[in-house]
A and B are shown apart, each in its own frame.
Chain A
Amino acid sequence: MALTKDEWIKENYPADADRLPQFTTISDVAIDPLYAPDDVAGQSYDERLGHPGEFPYTRGVYPSMYRGKLWTMRQFAGFATAEDTNERFKFLLSQGQTGLSTAFDMPTLMGYDADHARARGEVGREGVAVSSLADMEILFGDIPLDKVTTSMTVNCSASVLLAMYFAMAERRGVPLSKLGGTIQNDMLKEFIAQKEWISPPDPSVRVIVDMIEFCAKEAPRWHAVSISGYHIREAGSTAAQELAFTLADGIGYVQACVERGIDVDSFAPRLSFFFNVHNDFFEEIAKLRAARRMWAKIMRDRFHAKNPRSLLMRTHAQTAGCSLTAQQPLNNIVRVAIQALAGVLGGTQSLHTNSMDETLALPSEQAALVALRTQQIIADETGVTNFVDPLGGSYAVEALTDRLEAEAVDYIRRIDEMGGIVRAIELGFPQKEISEAAYRYQKQLDRGDKIMVGVNKYQMNEGPPLELLRIGNEIERKQVQRIRERKAARDAAAVQSALATVRRAASEATNLMPPIIAAVKHEVTVGEISDVFRDVFGVYRDPAWL
Chain B
Amino acid sequence: MSLRPLRILVAKPGLDGHDRGAKIIARMLRDAGFEVIYTGLHQTPEMIAAAAEQEDVDAIGLSILSGAHMTLFPDVIDELKKRGIEDVAIFGGGIIPPDDLPELKRLGVKEVFTPGATADDIVAWVRANIHSRGD
Q: Are A106 and B15 in contact (CB under 8 A)?
A: yes
Distance from A404 Cβ to chain B, minimum over Cβ atoms (Å): 22
Which segment of B40-48, B55-63, B79-87 sits at the interface?
Answer: B40-48
Chain B residues with Cβ under 8 A from A546's Cβ? 23, 26-27, 30, 36, 38
Closest residue to B74 on the A side, CB-wise? A121
Query: What's the tally of chain A residues with a CB closer than 8 Å to chain B?
Result: 47
Instruction: State which of A110, A117, A465, A544 has its C-beta within 8 Å of the C-beta of B98.
Output: A465
A455 at interface, CB cutoff 8 A: yes
Q: Knowing A195-B17, A546-B27 are in contact, say whether A121-B115 is a contact too (CB < 8 A).
A: no
What 0/1 readout, one digit per residue, does chain A (200-213) give for beta carbons within 8 Å of chain B? Answer: 00000000000000
Q: Are A125 and B68 in contact (CB under 8 A)?
A: yes
Closest residue to A122 on the B side, CB-wise? B68
A542 at interface, CB cutoff 8 A: yes
Q: Are B116 and A326 in contact (CB under 8 A)?
A: yes
Q: Are A360 and B15 in contact (CB under 8 A)?
A: no
A98 at interface, CB cutoff 8 A: no
Q: Give the dominant DSSP class at A's interface.
A: loop
What 0/1 readout, one digit per residue, does chain B (63-94) give for beta carbons within 8 Å of chain A? Answer: 00011111110010000000000000000000
Q: Are B24 and A455 in contact (CB under 8 A)?
A: no
Q: Are B120 and A446 in contact (CB under 8 A)?
A: yes
A196 at interface, CB cutoff 8 A: yes
Chain A residues with Cβ under 8 A from B118's Cβ? 445-446, 455-456
Q: Are B16 and A106 in contact (CB under 8 A)?
A: yes
B95 at interface, CB cutoff 8 A: yes
Chain B, interface size category, equals 35 or more
Chain A residues with Cβ under 8 A from B106's Cβ? none
Q: Are B68 and A118 in contact (CB under 8 A)?
A: no
Instruction: State which of B41, B67, B97 has its C-beta within 8 Å of the C-beta of A542.
Output: B41
Q: Give Cα A212–Cα B6 distance, bound, in whole angstroms.
A: 51
Instruction: State which of A107, A117, A325 has its C-beta within 8 Å of the C-beta of B116.
Output: A325
A327 at interface, CB cutoff 8 A: yes
Interface residues of B in 16-33 (CB under 8 A from A): 16-20, 23-24, 26-28, 30
Q: Knowing A120-B71, A121-B70, A360-B97 are in contact, say whether A543-B115 is a contact too (CB < 8 A).
A: no
Q: Give Cα A109–Cα B44 distance, bound, in whole angstroms.
A: 17
Closest residue to B30 on the A side, CB-wise? A546
Q: Knowing A360-B97, A442-B119 are in contact, say whether A121-B40 is a contact too (CB < 8 A).
A: no
Distance from B102 Cβ to chain A, minimum over Cβ atoms (Å): 14
Distance from A537 Cβ to chain B, minimum over Cβ atoms (Å): 17
**9 residue pairs A–B, Cβ–Cβ below 8 Å:** A106-B15, A122-B14, A126-B66, A195-B41, A359-B95, A360-B97, A446-B120, A541-B40, A541-B42
Q: Knowing A106-B14, A118-B44, A445-B118 are in contact, say whether A471-B67 is a contact too (CB < 8 A).
A: yes
Interface residues of B in 81-135 (CB under 8 A from A): 95, 97-99, 114-116, 118-120
Q: Knowing A107-B15, A122-B14 are in contact, say whether A326-B115 is a contact too (CB < 8 A).
A: yes
Distance from A120 Cβ to chain B, minimum over Cβ atoms (Å): 6
Q: Give Cα A107–Cα B66 distance, bound, in whole angstroms.
A: 10
Chain A residues with Cβ under 8 A from B70's Cβ? 121, 473
Chain B residues with Cβ under 8 A from A106's Cβ? 14-16, 66, 68
Q: Are B40 and A544 in contact (CB under 8 A)?
A: yes
Closest residue to B96 on the A side, CB-wise? A360
A234 at interface, CB cutoff 8 A: yes
Chain B residues with Cβ under 8 A from A438's Cβ? 20, 23-24
